[in-house]
């Protein structure tokens, strides 16, 4: 039987890295993974074009990160959208520009993979998806966590194999320490007009973990969920968000948090508790889990209310997920496969899921008192 060649897609990368200011971090991470030579690749990726605010930065980016690729380099994003040889535009600008960048690329008929959060609020996400539907082009939010095999397997353990019994609670925290007062005014972590705030940057992953752990069919019953959130601001920036999620039909609860006041705990990116055991997820940060451990139900030495009450944590079984690079190739491969099969939506991160997570963040910001200028636009 003939084996089918993996499809080839040509990427246009929007934004670069300024070596002095170390910006454009995500675009460099993404292309570094794209150019890795992998025997198990589901698609073949070509870096066809790079667009930056300056040609110099664009050329520097290519030299640093694009390996042996020889892309066209443009000093304006619009030239990437106009390049007939680009199939998919990858957008890695600060949050506040995502909507316009997406709309501009869509208007030129380009498929789009846009960094998280897709937009600043749910209304703007709907506008982007409406434009994509009308123009008949593929658009997806680059929630790379969702594409990881680890996440797929963990959900199978929870919902198909029922390894921890009935799930009743999940925790996830994402912390990245940022010295907000001393950051340059132009930093996206400090400038509300660029979308600064822990919830949209980090809490989006904590919420995603809760949904993945607590919902068998993510997003199938949005009205089942109630939310209670609080936020704290420092120097005009939302620096800590905490939210309680409660599902009326099952009573399941999620505790999701994010902060730019301190770094998170790599031993416990997320914890899922069930009636027969629990799962702890490990890795550098919640967007990048590398392993998880399944524990049997914790027991204690109390017998009939007597004894010294020491909790015993039984031996866990650890599942490791080593892979090349940082793991952006999982979403790149899936995006390429969806794109060549003519889909408008990602088969992993649906439009409704992106809108749902944006709606949750809208509600938490409304309760917590964080407003962005985009919320006021007509
Ligand atoms: N998936 C993930 O793990 C990660 C995702 N992200 C997401 O990616 C996006 C970008 O994050 P990151 O790479 O850290 O951002 P940076 O601030 O490092 O880079 C943003 C780039 O956007 C371009 N840009 C355009 N207009 C502006 C402006 N007014 N101010 C600053 N930069 C501008 C610049 O490129 P140029 O001058 O070349 O046009 C700049 O280098 C965010 O939305 C974030 O949520 C970020 C980190 C990790
Ligand atoms: O998505 C992200 O993941 C890694 C963090 O350091 C970064 O701030 C955030 O944008």
Same domain, 110 and 176: no
Does residue 60 belong to any structural domain of this protein? Answer: yes
Q: For the domain that residue 360 is a member of, what is the CATH number?
A: 3.30.360.10
Q: List Cα–Cα distances, 334 to 43, 44, 215, 219, 339, in angstroms.
A: 8, 11, 22, 20, 8
Question: For the chain, how many structural domains are there in total?
Answer: 2
Does residue 61 belong to any structural domain of this protein? Answer: yes
Same domain, 163 and 17: no
Same domain, 69 and 186: no
Same domain, 66 and 200: no
| Domain span including residue 256 | 149-325+350-373
Does residue 330 belong to any structural domain of this protein? Answer: no
Q: Give the closest residue (by CA) to ligand 2 atom 3.
A: 287
Does residue 338 belong to any structural domain of this protein? Answer: no
Assess whether the C-beta atom of 115 lies below 6 angstroms from ligand 1.
Answer: yes
Q: Give the closest residue (by CA) to ligand 1 atom 25.
A: 93
Same domain, 80 and 126: yes
Tell me the average confidence (pLDDT) per consecutive run of 10 residues in the chain, 378 residues long.
Answer: 79 83 81 93 96 94 91 97 98 97 98 98 98 98 98 98 98 97 94 97 98 92 94 97 97 98 97 98 98 92 64 92 96 98 97 96 98 86
- The two beta strands, 237-247 and 253-259, are antiparallel
Same domain, 46 and 92: yes
Does residue 336 belong to any structural domain of this protein? Answer: no
Assess whether the C-beta atom of 171 lies below 6 angstroms from ligand 1.
Answer: no
| pLDDT tens track for 116-161 | 999 999 999 999 999 999 999 999 999 999 999 999 999 999 999 9
Mutation probe of ligand 1 site: the residue of 53, 65, 80, 93 with most atoms within 8 A of C-beta: 93
Same domain, 191 and 307: yes
Q: Give the closest residue (by CA) to ligand 2 atom 8.
A: 201
Assess whether the C-beta atom of 176 lies below 6 angstroms from ligand 2.
Answer: yes
The distance of Cα 351 from the centroid of its chain, to the nearest Å, equals: 14
Same domain, 209 and 79: no
Question: Which ligand 2 atom sits nearest the alpha carbon of residue 201?
Answer: 10
Does residue 307 belong to any structural domain of this protein? Answer: yes
- What ipTM score was computed for the predicted complex, to two decimals? 0.98
Assess whether the C-beta atom of 178 lies below 6 angstroms from ligand 2.
Answer: no
| pLDDT tens track for 229-270 | 999 999 999 999 999 999 999 999 999 999 999 999 999 999
Same domain, 37 and 186: no
């Amino acid at each position: 039987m003939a084996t089918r060649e993996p499809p080839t897609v040509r990427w246009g990368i929007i934004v670069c890295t300024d070596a002095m200011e170390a910006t454009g971090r995500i675009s460099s991470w993404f292309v570094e993974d794209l150019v890795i030579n992998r025997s198990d690749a589901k698609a073949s990726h070509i870096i066809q074009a790079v667009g930056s605010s300056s040609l110099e930065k664009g050329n520097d980016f290519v030299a640093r990160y694009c390996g042996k690729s020889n892309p066209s380099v443009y000093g304006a994003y619009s030239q990437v959208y106009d390049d007939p040889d680009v199939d998919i535009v990858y957008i890695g600008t600060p949050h506040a520009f995502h909507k316009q960048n997406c709309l501009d690329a869509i208007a030129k008929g380009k498929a789009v993979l846009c960094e998280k959060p897709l937009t600043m609020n749910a209304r703007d996400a709907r506008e982007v998806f409406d434009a994509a539907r009308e123009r008949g082009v593929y658009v997806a939010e680059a929630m790379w966590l969702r594409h990881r095999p680890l996440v797929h397997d963990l959900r199978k353990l929870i919902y198909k194999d029922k390894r921890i019994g009935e799930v009743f609670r999940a925790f996830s925290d994402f912390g990245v320490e940022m010295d907000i007062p001393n950051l340059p005014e132009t930093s996206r972590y400090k400038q509300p007009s660029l979308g600064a705030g822990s919830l949209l940057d980090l809490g989006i992953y904590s919420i995603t973990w809760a949904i993945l752990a607590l919902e068998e069919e993510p997003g199938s019953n949005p009205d089942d969920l109630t939310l209670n959130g609080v936020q704290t601001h420092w120097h005009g920036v939302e620096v800590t968000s905490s939210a309680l999620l409660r599902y009326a039909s099952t009573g399941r609860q999620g505790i999701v948090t994010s902060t730019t006041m301190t770094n998170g705990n790599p031993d416990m990116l997320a914890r899922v508790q069930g009636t027969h055991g629990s799962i702890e997820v490990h890795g550098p940060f919640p967007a990048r889990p590398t392993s998880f451990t399944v524990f049997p139900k914790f027991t204690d030495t109390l017998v009939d209310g007597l004894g010294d009450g020491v909790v015993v944590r039984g031996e866990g079984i650890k599942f490791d997920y080593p892979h090349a690079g940082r793991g952006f190739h999982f979403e790149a491969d899936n995006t390429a496969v969806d794109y060549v099969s003519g889909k408008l939506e990602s088969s992993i991160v649906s439009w409704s899921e992106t809108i749902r997570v944006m709606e949750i963040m809208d509600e938490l910001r409304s309760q917590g008192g964080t407003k962005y200028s985009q919320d006021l636009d007509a």
